[in-house]
Amino acid sequence: MPYAAVSYPVLPGHAEELGRILASHRRGAAVVRDADGAEVARSLGTAVFARDDRLLRVVHYRGDLDRLLLHIGRSLLSGGLARELAPHLPENPSIDSAEAFAAFFRHAQLPCVYQRGQGDPT
C-alpha cells in the first residue's frame, strides 16, 4: 500500500493550533467510488507532523491517488477546513476548489524514496 507525503510552509509558532484544527475536522468517507460504484481509491490513514515553519502530511492509501486527492479536496472545502487553515499559512495557496487542492498537493508532494509494509519482502 503506497504512501504520499506533502510538505509546505506554515507560520512559525502555529503548529499546536494547526494540530487542534486538523484534529477537530470531521472526516469524510474513506472510500472513493466511480460512477458505477466501484472502489477506485481508499484512504487507509493519515498523519500530520509540524515543526517550526514546516508541516508534513503523510497519507497511506490504496488505489488512484489523483481521485483520492480530489475527494480530500472536496472534504476540506465542504467542512470549511481550508478556510480555517489559511490564516496559518505564509503563502495563501489557491485551494478554493477540489481541483486546486489536488494541484496544490501534487506540487508540494515529496517523492517517495523508500517504503515498506508488513509482509513485504526484505
pLDDT in 10s for each residue of the chain, 122 residues: 799 998 888 899 888 888 888 888 776 678 999 999 999 999 999 898 988 888 898 999 999 998 988 888 777 776 678 788 888 888 766 777 778 777 887 888 898 899 887 777 76
Residue 121 falls inside a structural domain: no
- Angle (CA) 97-103-104 rounded to 5° is 90
Question: Which residue range(s) make up the domain with 91?
Answer: 3-110
Residue 59 falls inside a structural domain: yes
Residue 35 falls inside a structural domain: yes
> What is the per-residue pLDDT for 79?
67
Domain count, the chain: 1
Residue 120 falls inside a structural domain: no
Distance of CA 94 to the CA centre of its chain: 15
C-alpha to C-alpha distance for 3 and 96, rounded to whole angstroms: 25
Return the SS3 of 122.
coil
C-alpha to C-alpha distance for 25 and 80, rounded to whole angstroms: 9
Residue 17 falls inside a structural domain: yes
What the block records as the C-alpha cell of 6 is: 506533502
> What is the per-residue pLDDT for 72?
80
Residue 118 falls inside a structural domain: no
